[in-house]
Structure 1
Amino acid sequence: MNKKQIITIAGGGSTYTPGIIQAVLNNSDRLPISEIRLYDIDGKRNEDMALIIDFMLKKEGHSDVVLSSTENPKEAFTGCDFVFSQIRVGGMKMREKDEKIALKHGLVGQETCGLGGFAYGMRSMGGLLEIVGYVQEYAPEAWILNYTNPESIVSEAVRRQFPGIKMINACDMTISIEETIADNYGYDRKEWVSTYYGLNHFGWYTEIYDKSLGRDVMPEIIEKLTSQTMKVADFNEGDQSWQDAFNMMSVMTKDFPTHIPNNYLEYYLYPDMVVEEADKNYTRANMVMDGREKNTKEMAEKIRSGVKEDVLNFNFGEHGQYIVDMATSILNDEHRRFMLIVPNRGAIPNLREDAVVEVPAYVGATGVEPISLRQPIPDFHKGLMEAQVAAEKLLVDAYFEGSYQKALQAFTLNQSVPSARVAKIVLDEMIEANKEYWPELS
């Protein structure tokens, strides 16, 4: 039996924290814990979340687990074993600005894609590098399991400044896609061995081997996708924006029926359609603030008021389970397979070596072992990816060098942007909006 672990959640006030904690509690045989620390620079959000997590621990008979919430990095990280990072630098208010500035100029307004994603990336790099620095100082042997977006950009930044850090970068979107496909078409995702490549929120499935059926089921899934629209999975039920995204997945598959796309590709392949359907005054950030964030505050207030029944109101999904599975795979040397964001180094043989890509990988006690695809990827995908990789690298250059010129090049090259003129207009507005968060560019 492993010793009981100390887990720190960076961005502890996030509305996703209860899902992670629930997954930790559900897997206490594989991930025994002695302590949970919630770290957040927003003390009020962290206090609310601590109330909710304390309620969960007592309700499920885990009163022996020590819970703390803090804004002090030394208290948060000293001696911890795992850091689950899910910070959002600037919070939802800055996400709203990212989305609405882009939309005002006829561009995609989305938190990780397009110029909104680049604005968020410029904020996130500084925040995550700070977290990694704290971990290196106070818990150098800890593993950082990172959910902080935009993953490709922040992964590149961390790789440059902390090349030897024990960190795994992951996104649960592929699991969400697979769960949705399996639920709609009658498969068991636990029987799947999937092959996928791309960048974060920018990739394609090449094979979905079903062990129970003994065959690649991707051709039949493509046929289904092109003939019938999927319904969102239970964890996104009632969310029209996610339903729209999966509707677009069918459109993409009809137009390009050789692979199953990540549904975020709609922002790069069909930006005009996305903008036409968008509400410039009420974006996804507003939906989250009026939904998950409001719901979290209401739960905390119920607990403060002494309510004991019908308090927790979460739809956990796979988000928490995915990161916990990574932790247990490290702790128990399980060598489980995940889709992870890693330096390419030949995993995609005809893509530049230093790209940060998302591919299948095994995780064990020594970390990540990426799987080589062996075969070159198609020129269409390669061309899209190479342009986006270059744009992301230029953005990271801009951050470290304080270079306005590199930032403008990155914004111009982003796959959702039609011209340098509009890229410059949006960049200048983003600089003004992000004075508190971005490095000075000159």
Structure 2
Amino acid sequence: MKFTDLHVAIAGGGSTYTPGIVQAMLHNSDRFPVSKITLYDIDEERNEDMKLIVKYMLENDGYDNVELNATLDPEEAFTGCDFVFSQIRVGGMEMREKDEKIPLSHGLVGQETCGVGGFSYGLRSIKGLLGVVGYVQEYSPDAWILNYTNPETLIAEAIRRQFPNAHMLNACDMTISIEETMARNFGYDRKNWIAQYYGLNHFGWYTSIYDKSLQRDVMPELIEKLRKAPMKIASFNKGDQSWQDAWNKLSKILDYFPDYLPNNYLEYYFFPDIVVEETDSNHTRANMVMDGRLKNTKEMATKIRNKAEGEVLDFDFGEHGQYIVDMATSILNDSHERFMLIQPNMGAIPNLRQDAVVEIPTYVGRLGAEPISMRHPINDFHKGLMEAQNAAEKLLVDGYFEGSYQKVLEAFTLNQTVPSADKAKEVLDDLIIANKGYWPELH
């Protein structure tokens, strides 16, 4: 690995999150000296729009010395790269919309990473990311792959099976988004926090949040504040009512289970009937994103093409971009910073199966992830929930590699948002049709 003149490839370069990642790289150039950025995507129009936006950023921030490329060719994208930041979305927003609306048509949760919609997305993502990792192994086998592609535990399980020696970290920014939103709402500085957390991706709990400046665990007071009143939307989610609904549900979960601070995505497993009842099946989260971030990004590119004057760039992604750049910096400088990562359990949670793919605090250095052991068993309530979800995820990955309809049906049936095998089979059969060409053939 080089220590200067870094080449970073962004897989899913056309993503609306790319500007935030580039901004974080530029603002940390003293720790992370990037000299070449390559945007790789299979959607040429979106990739070229993003190249235009990133070029504008480089020129306006005085980084003309950073080389910028955009390509649809994996060999060109990944040859000679030091880091690959992956944020691909196989099928785009059009398929996300089907992941959400088809389950809802059966009275089931429709969500991109949770429930059967998440499983639908997972079967597409596995295929797409295995392809990206394969290209990296061929063209730059020593490069580090930092993955944001969802659903993370399914991805991590599949990569572990097919590419066990790949230099790869799987991370989700949801925990830091929860923390940042709480900190902004209640007057704390998240940078002073040391969080203890365990679970699966989008399926976990905080056990403590120690504040170094206050010299105490602030989680009990955060729980008390959240039970009194839900958080308000932070600036990086401004105008997005769905996030306010999520924070409302977080407070509701705490009314039932006040001992630990949950990941808000647990609402889909604790209250699936309420979520379905309150969801507009004609205008789901995918439609909100298409009308919001996607439209906004297209307008920015159009303004740049038309040489519009005044403020052109409009994006705020919170800690999303900074988090992945901090991981890369921790690898590069062997600084052993602490992150929440998704990886095989291997005893970190002592009373959970060894090969479960879990999300836990981890130190990151030149050799990759060094997980932090919890030392104590988790309680039966959390353990039972996690074991059922983990078994469903493993069955789904089995189904992918074996092309097994039976295994996928078992995964759908075991998913805790699904009330019966009849519903599981009905929605699976509809999703097979919708995902033709994206999923493996199931027999």
Partner SS state of residue 62, structure 2: coil
The CA deviation string for residues 219-251 of structure 1, in whole angstroms up to 9 with x for no partner, is 111111111221111211221000110111000
Partner SS state of residue 349, structure 1: coil
Counterpart position of 1:414: 415
Partner SS state of residue 164, structure 1: coil
Counterpart position of 1:236: 237
Counterpart position of 1:93: 94
CA RMSD of aligned residues (A): 0.8
Counterpart position of 1:163: 164
Counterpart position of 1:148: 149
Asked if 1:29 corresponds to 2:27, the answer is: no
Partner SS state of residue 205, structure 1: strand
**1:39-188 equivalences in 2 (<5 Å):** 39-188=40-189
- The alpha-carbon deviation at position 57 of structure 1 amounts to 0.3
Counterpart position of 1:194: 195
**Distance across 2 between alignment mates of 1:405 and 1:297:** 42
**Distance across 2 between alignment mates of 1:423 and 1:73:** 37
**Distance across 2 between alignment mates of 1:235 and 1:72:** 32
**1:298-313 equivalences in 2 (<5 Å):** 298-313=299-314
Q: Given the two structures, how large is their TM-score scaled by the length of structure 1?
A: 0.99
Counterpart position of 2:206: 205
Aligned letter for 1:267? Y
State the 4+ residue runs in structure 1 displaced beyond 6 angstroms: none
- The alpha-carbon deviation at position 308 of structure 1 amounts to 4.1
Asked if 1:290 corresponds to 2:315, the answer is: no
Partner SS state of residue 363, structure 1: strand
Partner SS state of residue 85, structure 2: strand
Aligned letter for 1:265? L
Partner SS state of residue 281, structure 1: coil
Partner SS state of residue 145, structure 1: strand
Aligned letter for 1:223? E
Alpha carbons 1:343, 1:357 under 8 Å: kept: yes
- The alpha-carbon deviation at position 273 of structure 1 amounts to 0.9
- The alpha-carbon deviation at position 309 of structure 1 amounts to 2.5
**1:14-25 equivalences in 2 (<5 Å):** 14-25=15-26
**Distance across 2 between alignment mates of 1:201 and 1:154:** 13
Aligned letter for 1:430? L
Aligned letter for 2:6? Q
**Distance across 1 between alignment mates of 2:171 and 2:399:** 24
Structure 2 residue runs of 5 or longer lacking an equivalent are none
Aligned letter for 1:335? H
The CA deviation string for residues 260-282 of structure 1, in whole angstroms up to 9 with x for no partner, is 00000000011011111100000
**Distance across 1 between alignment mates of 2:345 and 2:20:** 31
**Distance across 2 between alignment mates of 1:334 and 1:244:** 38
Aligned letter for 1:191? N
Alpha carbons 1:360, 1:370 under 8 Å: kept: yes
Structure 1 residue runs of 5 or longer lacking an equivalent are none
The CA deviation string for residues 67-111 of structure 1, in whole angstroms up to 9 with x for no partner, is 000000000000100000000000000000010000011110000
Alpha carbons 1:54, 1:67 under 8 Å: kept: yes
Asked if 1:396 corresponds to 2:397, the answer is: yes
**1:8-19 equivalences in 2 (<5 Å):** 8-19=9-20
**Distance across 1 between alignment mates of 2:76 and 2:415:** 40
**Distance across 2 between alignment mates of 1:400 and 1:371:** 30
The CA deviation string for residues 376-427 of structure 1, in whole angstroms up to 9 with x for no partner, is 1010000000000000000000000000000000000001000000000000
- The alpha-carbon deviation at position 10 of structure 1 amounts to 0.1
**Distance across 1 between alignment mates of 2:314 and 2:4:** 32
Counterpart position of 1:371: 372
The CA deviation string for residues 349-370 of structure 1, in whole angstroms up to 9 with x for no partner, is 0000000000000001110000
Partner SS state of residue 118, structure 2: helix
**Distance across 2 between alignment mates of 1:34 and 1:324:** 14
Aligned letter for 2:125? S
Aligned letter for 1:55? Y
